[in-house]
Chains A and B, each alone.
Chain A
Amino acid sequence: MPNILLSVKNAKKTYKGGVTALAGVNLEIHNNEIIAILGSSGAGKSTLIKSILGLVKLDTGKIFFKNNALLGKNFSRLRSSISTIYQNFNLVSRSSVLSNILHGKVSKVSSWRILFNIWPKADQYKAVSLLEEVGLKGMNYDKRVENLSGGQQQRIGIARALIVSPEIILADEPVSSLDPETAKEILKLLKDTAKKNKISILCSLHQVEFAKLFADRVVGMSNGKIIFDKSSKKLLKSDLNKIYK
């Protein structure tokens, strides 16, 4: 069995209104593994991903990355190995394609470079080569992101995630705002690049058939709890009935 890359231990989170989003979640993600989290809206998928990113503070429980707790100083050091892809792409729409990819390196460059928008040459070359990797070869990288289609924007989002050479990518419903054809293409791209670069992926999804096609392992969540956690090949209809009531 490959090494454990990231583990979530007894994660609990109740929001201010009294909604329990995570009710004691335990999850292990191994190296070079693709995991899809399934569940209906409000099952706790997004909260789980946000808590790993530090955007949601857990009430109890810990998250470990390569056996180091994701806390304090460790957090900012280890976070650079974790990239994210979002449902609404979360790109700066009025900035250029190239700038958006380079934003991945935001914490790696000096302040004056940020101030004057002057990025290191090596990063710029990498960004352009990533455009090719995500299937946007020959695209005008000075173009504003707002002028691109949803699928193209998500490809830029993937390129932004890849520029830091991450060990794991967290994806919060990365294809739910795309049409089914484009969604399939994006997931295939994500899978191929992950396998090629030996990156693990934790991805929340709505569509069961996409999860089967895309993931090695499928985790089903309901009411903040993990209901099942098994290989995507062994997924049964009865499993799904437990999470989609």
Chain B
Amino acid sequence: MKKLNNNLKPPFSLKTIFFIFLFFIVFLISAQRVGIPDIVDRLYEASLDLIGVKNTSKISEGLSRISKEMWPPVVESKKDINLILNFDATNLPLFSYVKVYKDKLYEINPDTLLLEEIEEEEIEFLVEPFGYLKLVFIKILESIEIAFWASFISIVLSIPLAYYSAKNYSPNSLIYFIARSIVSGLRAIPELISVLFMVLAFGFGPAAGIMALGLHSAGFLGKFFAEDIENADTGPQDALIALGASKWRVLKLSVLPQVMPQYVAYLLYILDRNLRMATVIGLVGGGGIGQELKGRFDLFEYGHVTTIIIAIFLVVFIFDQLSAKLRSKLIGD
């Protein structure tokens, strides 16, 4: 029998085995550093607790404590009527009523240094049955607006960025390099970091959030758009160039129709991402529902937190459904 071609390489060389071994070592060291064994331990404990073998688990203790406090979600709002300016008991807002709550007052006894109850006082609260829901709605609307404006800014910024960072359309290599650097720079800074700087520039509130999200997603869109322009079929472009069309005419008539489906998909993704991020950046002062969430979390008002989380979930879910419909409508079959 004829000998097989001995130039054939073995599927695994010694080098490959060495690198797999090296990777395994690094993997183990890293796991130790970030506390993977601890995660495994706790999950193991929790699973034993779940099946009733053991009844102490840090995970279930932590989660069960908070989950008791998180339910039920809060929908009503209560406000001390003494804190309401020009309160008019005869002209209450729709569906709201005044309720009396009893509160105990304590004072430190200077002799014993213990808290002692001195009196029980009655405080009148204005209760709006759906007051908190209304507030959450207003705040989440602000988040949606932040997401919308951030996406709008990112589209406006990304169009010139994409044009100049597409190799086949950029006028020269210097402009190409500058545009690519801007695109990478914008993408490199996470929104949660850039919003801290934007808060310094624009103050607390939606403006800082809009700018932070808008700049970051402009980096994304600029990169995606530019790569699509570069990869578009050159045949139709050549045909238009041969007909004497200028660069931007070729871009408008030949490249844009080709890349439009991807553009729509990117835009919807960016809008979806900005919507989720808009709820987060509020945690560091970027306005919207995040600011409310952070405030309630810090006050241990977990019932309110639940309401907010449900609201965020609903908005993201509804947007998901809408964007799927919008996508098929805009892109077609």
Q: Which residues of A contact B (CB under 8 A)?
A: 53-55, 76, 79-80, 83-84, 86, 88-95, 99, 103-104, 106-107, 111, 114-115, 160, 164
Contacts and interface: CB of A to CB of B under 8 A. Distances in A.
A106 B249 contact: yes
A92 B236 contact: yes
A107 B240 CA distance: 9
B264 to A, nearest CB: 12
Closest 8 CB pairs of A and B: A107-B244, A90-B239, A90-B235, A106-B245, A94-B257, A92-B236, A53-B242, A95-B257
Contact of A88 (B235, B241, B245, B260): B235
Number of chain B interface residues as a range: 20 to 34
Q: Interface on chain A toward B: helix, strand, loop, or mixed SS? A: loop
B254 to A, nearest CB: 5
Interface of B: 233, 235-236, 238-246, 249, 252-254, 257-258, 260-261
A55 B250 CA distance: 15
Contacts of A106: 240, 243-245, 249, 253
A107 B242 CA distance: 10
Contacts of B245: 106-107
Contact of B253 (A54, A92, A93): A92
Max chain B C-beta neighbours (<10 A), residue from A79, A103, A111: A103
A80 B239 contact: no
Contacts of B243: 79, 83-84, 103-104, 106-107, 164
A114 B258 CA distance: 16
A54 B243 CA distance: 10
Given A90-B238, A91-B236, A79 B257 contact: no
Contacts of B252: 114-115
A176 to B, nearest CB: 14
A92 B257 contact: yes
26 contacts: A53-B242, A55-B241, A55-B242, A79-B243, A80-B244, A84-B239, A84-B242, A86-B238, A92-B236, A92-B257, A93-B236, A94-B258, A94-B261, A95-B253, A103-B243, A103-B254, A106-B240, A106-B243, A106-B244, A106-B249, A106-B253, A111-B249, A114-B249, A114-B252, A160-B239, A164-B243
Contacts of A76: 244
B244 A92 contact: no
Contacts of A92: 236, 253-254, 257-258
Contacts of A86: 235, 238-239
Contacts of A111: 249
A103 B253 contact: yes
Given A55-B241, A95-B257, 4 more contacts: A86-B235, A103-B240, A106-B244, A114-B252
B302 to A, nearest CB: 51
Given A80-B244, A104-B243, A107-B244, A90 B249 contact: no
A55 B235 CA distance: 12
Contacts of A53: 242
Nearest to A99: B253
A88 B239 CA distance: 11
A94 B260 contact: yes
Contacts of B241: 55
A114 B253 contact: yes
B124 to A, nearest CB: 63
Contacts of B240: 103, 106
A170 to B, nearest CB: 9
Nearest to B260: A94
Nearest to A76: B244
A103 B240 CA distance: 7
B128 to A, nearest CB: 50
Contacts of A164: 243
Contacts of B261: 94
Contacts of A104: 243
B168 to A, nearest CB: 14
B48 to A, nearest CB: 59
A86 to B, nearest CB: 6
A148 to B, nearest CB: 14
Contacts of B258: 92-94
Nearest to A160: B239
